[in-house]
Amino acid sequence: MDIRPRRLRENNLIRRISRETRLSPDSLVLPFFVREGSGIIEDISSMVGQKRYSPDTIARGVEEALEAGVRSFMIFGITENKDEFGSSGFHSHGVVQEAIRTLKKQFSQDIQLISDVCLCEYTSHGHCGIIKDQKIDNDSSLEYIAKTALSHAIAGCDMVAPSDMMDGRVTSIRNLLDQNGFENIPIMSYAAKYSSSFYGPFREAVGSAPQFGDRQTYQMDYHNKKEAIKEVLLDVSEGADIVMVKPALSYLDVICEVSKNVNIPVAAYSVSGEYALIKAAASQNLVDEYKMMCETAVSIYRAGANILVSYYAKELAQAMRRGDIG
C-alpha cells in the first residue's frame, strides 16, 4: 500500500508534528464579571468555577490568569443601578470603568482589557437598546452605546467589543472614539451574534434577562448563514478591526464561512451554555471534562477562529503549554 494514513498516527511525536491546527495562549480571552461593592469574590452558581468580583478584588483573578498564561480579558459589569437608558453603564465611576482603571494601574501593558459594550446589564428593562413605543429603537440606542464605549476608553481599556447587535453601531462608536482622540482603540464587534438559548447561564450570572419579550428583533435567527456574512461585511465596512461569531459550538459552519469571507481576525465566543453543558455532564461522570474541553476548543479553531473567548481560557492555556493541544 503506497498511502497509509496511519503512518502519521504511529506515536505521540509524529501526531504532534503533523497537526494542522496550531494554538497559542496568546489567542485566548477570559471573561470576567465585576459587580458593585467591595471585598467581593463570589461563586456564580449557574457557571461552576466562575466568579463575580468587585473592582477592588478583580486583580486577584487576573493574577491567577496571568500565572496560567492568559493575558487578554473581557470585562462585564453587573449593577443594581438600572434605568431606562442604562446610565450606570457609561458613568465614569461605573463598575467596569473602576475595574479598568484599577487593573490598568496595576498591570499596565502586561494585560489587554477588552470591554463588553452593551446596555442590557444596565437597563431596567434588560434590553440591549433604548425602548420607544414598546420597541427597541435602533437609532436612539446608538448614542448610548457609543457613550458607553467612550467611557471605557477614557477609563483605559485596550479594545471595545459591542455586543448589542444594533445596526450602525460600529460607525457610531468609531466616530465618537475618533472625535475624542481614541483613533487607535480597536473595535472587536460581535458581528454575527445569534439569538440563542446558550446565553441562559450568563443572564442568570449578571441579571440581564429581558423583562419583556426576547432579543429576536436584534440578535440573529439561527436558521441563517448568509446573513452572518452580510452582518460581518457591514461591520468590516464600518471599521470593525476584529469580527466575532457567537455562540461557537453550534455555529462552527458560520465561523468557517466568515473566516473565508474576511481579511481580518475572526473571534469566536464559546458562551456560558457551552461551558455549563460540559460542567453539568462532567459532574455526573458522563464525560471527561478535560478532554471534552480540549476537543471542543480545538474544533472552534479548526473551523477558522483565530481568537477564542472562553470560560475555560486558563485551563486551555495550560493544556496548550503541556502540548495536549496545539
Among positions 271, 294, 307, 325, the unique one binding ligand PBG when judged by CB under 6 A: 271
- Closer to ligand PBG by CB, 115 or 163: give it: 163
Q: How far is the CB of 280 from ligand PBG (least distance, A)?
A: 15
What gap in Å lies between CA 126 and CA 86, rounded to an integer?
A: 9
Among the candidate windows 20-28, 93-101, 196-204, 221-229, which touches ligand PBG by CB under 6 A? 196-204
**Residue 67 in grid coordinates:** 500565572
Q: How far is the CB of 128 from ligand PBG (least distance, A)?
A: 5
Q: Which residue has the cell 455586543?
A: 163
- Residue 231 binding ligand PBG, by CB under 6 A: no
What gap in Å lies between CA 125 and CA 228, rounded to an integer?
A: 27
Instruction: Return the bridge partners of 31, or none.
Output: 74
Which residue's C-beta sits nearest to ligand PBG? Answer: 202
C-alpha 45: how far from its chain's center? 20
- Residue 120 binding ligand PBG, by CB under 6 A: yes
Among positions 51, 104, 203, 302, the unique one binding ligand PBG when judged by CB under 6 A: 203
Catalytic center residues: 193, 246
- Residue 294 binding ligand PBG, by CB under 6 A: no
Q: Which residue has the cell 466568579?
A: 51
- Closer to ligand PBG by CB, 83 or 178: give it: 83
Residues 153-172 that bind ligand PBG (CB under 6 A): 163
Q: How far is the CB of 69 from ligand PBG (least distance, A)?
A: 21
What gap in Å lies between CA 74 and CA 33, rounded to an integer?
A: 9
Specify the length of the chain in residues: 326
What gap in Å lies between CA 97 and CA 90, rounded to an integer?
A: 8
Residues 228, 233, 234, 236: what is their CA dihedral angle, to the nearest 10 degrees? 130
Site of interaction with ligand PBG (CB under 6 A): 116, 118, 120, 128, 163, 199, 202-203, 271-272
